[in-house]
Structure 1
Amino acid sequence: MKRPWAAVALLVAAISVLYRLPANGGPEWTVLADPVFPASVQLLPAHCGEPVTKDMKAFGERMLDCLASVWGPVVQQTDGLVMRRPDVVVYWTAEIPTRCGVVRDTTAYYCGAGAEVIYLSGPAFRRLFSAWPADSRSYATLVLAHEYGHHLQNQLGIMKVSTTRQSRLSGAAAEEESRRRELQASCWAAAFLGADRVALGPGFASRWRSLLSRTGDLPGTPRLHGSVASNRYWAQLGFADARPGSCRTFTATRAMVE
């Protein structure tokens, strides 16, 4: 039977991040070159597993509790920052106005302008939960972990610097900057999932690998999220040892972020 994932394209192609660029200012480019997390930092398990509810608002809030319990102490210890909690908004219309502008046709995205918000498409997740409940829970878990990765980038100053630099580039160079940002968020998401692999259960790893095989930029679309091979590489790297310091996509060679 044909699986419904093609209806929402590939995983990362359905996930986007938006940030209101500063009008002026001189960003510190070194924030992208320096390791955000020391190599010795290993994430602890959240002991959460996959939320079982089909209510995406409740699903999102539960995932935020789990993500904050792991990332909050790490960020405070390594960077001295107290993580703010983003809001979760489930929308049921074809498009929605946000502080980042009007957004449409997107399963999930993060807006870091003003009040940080993770937006989730109610209709998209309802269709997925109806057709494939188990796989959809894994998909939604991965989506929330990825969007929280963008929230980390926002809190740590990476988002502002990277999107500002991207605004000064064009063509392939601008797309490459986007891929470095997206692949870092995916790698951090995988590190969180890898740390919690026991609670996620024995079936999660196989479902996660299946999702990875369909995660990447679609042919003929802008190269903003990375190829299937690049997404697989960075996700597996993060998942393997749950060390976010390994996710150094901004200093990786171009071939590693294709």
Structure 2
Amino acid sequence: MRLKGIRSSRNVEDRRRMSGGRAGGIGGVGLLVILALGYFAGVDVTPLLQGQGGQGGAPRQISAEEERAADFTRKVLATTEDVWSGVFRERLGQNYAPPVLVLYSGVTQSPCGGASGATGPFYCPADRKAYLDTAFFATMQRQLGAGGDFAAAYVIAHEVAHHVQNELGILPQVNQRRQAVGQVEANALTVRLELQADCLSGVWAREVGNLLEPGDLEEALNAARQIGDDTLQRNAGKVPQPHTFTHGTSEQRQRWFARGFETGDPNSCDTFGAQRL
């Protein structure tokens, strides 16, 4: 992805230097493995992470690799601001209020609960912020086989897409419906929400097409495939169980991202009205 000359977003809250931010009792590689296990295998790793941070001490140092990842994130975030501001203004007749993206290292707090990275990057509608530990990019490449700069950009765009859903009133409606149904039905609604975010990510990708390099689109589609629920459960040694899916299958995630990219139209991303996901 060609980002030279692209501005950096100012809507970033950097918590990476906070004392105790990185889990102190677990080595860096071990932490990544534990966090990936929690997010992708559906295992509750909270007990492994409790007490692993916030112990005081000197502010942590930021490595050169972390700085590069943060700079990349700020620029990608800026492209989402430009894209969605234009889409909201020109197609929806609305103003777009961009989210704040919180960069943290290992553990932090959010109104949606303690963020340990165990759920990977996430969006919290309570404070309208997206949360990202840039170490997740390394997890994608080394543990999940989803490397590449545009794969990382897709992850950022996906979380911003949840903010777009919040801005449009979709997210609160779905959350209300999820609270009124059983777990299986709630999971099914979550799948539709996540696939819509994939599609909206595809709309963003089309809008920044002039920044794409050869192979970028393939990197995003590969990432969508590697983080499909069926693939993740299978790689974790489980038999895929569709009733537990919360993000969609690899095929579904790829197809909805591709749909957004091919049409460039947010209206084509109506997963809630689709008979076939």
TM-score greater than 0.5 by the shorter chain:
yes
Code of the residue aligned with 2:92 in structure 1: it is D
The alignment status of 1:252 with 2:252, answered yes or no, reads no
Q: Indicate the larger mover: 139-148 or 217-226.
A: 217-226
Aligned to 2:26: none
SS, match of residue 115 in structure 2: strand
Cα pair 1:13 1:225 within 8 Å, conserved: no
Aligned to 1:231: 253
Aligned to 1:170: 182
Task: Indicate the structure (1 or 2) with the bigger Cα radius of gyration.
Answer: 2
Cα pair 1:191 1:244 within 8 Å, conserved: yes
Structure-1 separation of matches of 2:141 and 2:192:
30
Per-residue CA shift, 1:3-23, capped at 9, x if unaligned? Answer: xxx96759x959xxxxxxxxx
The alignment status of 1:242 with 2:240, answered yes or no, reads no
SS, match of residue 251 in structure 1: coil
Alignment equivalent of 1:59, drawn from 72, 81, 87: 72
Alignment equivalent of 1:72, drawn from 71, 85, 102: 85
Structure-2 separation of matches of 1:97 and 1:90:
11
1:107-256 equivalences under 5 Å are: 107-114=120-127, 116-126=128-138, 135-217=147-229, 218-219=232-233, 222-253=244-275, 256=276
Structure-1 separation of matches of 2:271 and 2:204:
17
Cα pair 1:182 1:225 within 8 Å, conserved: yes
Which structure is richer in relative contact order (CA contacts within 8 A, separation 6 or more)? Answer: 1
Q: Offset of 1:69 from its aligned partner?
A: 0.9
Q: Offset of 1:55 from its aligned partner?
A: 3.1
Listed as ranges, the gaps of 5+ residues in structure 2 are: 1-31, 42-64, 234-239
Code of the residue aligned with 1:158 in structure 2: it is I
Cα pair 1:197 1:205 within 8 Å, conserved: no
SS, match of residue 224 in structure 1: coil
1:38-57 equivalences under 5 Å are: 55-57=68-70
Structure-1 separation of matches of 2:209 and 2:135:
29
Structure-1 separation of matches of 2:139 and 2:190:
29
After TM superposition, the runs of 4+ consecutive aligned structure 1 residues lying more than 6 A away are 129-132
Aligned to 1:89: 102
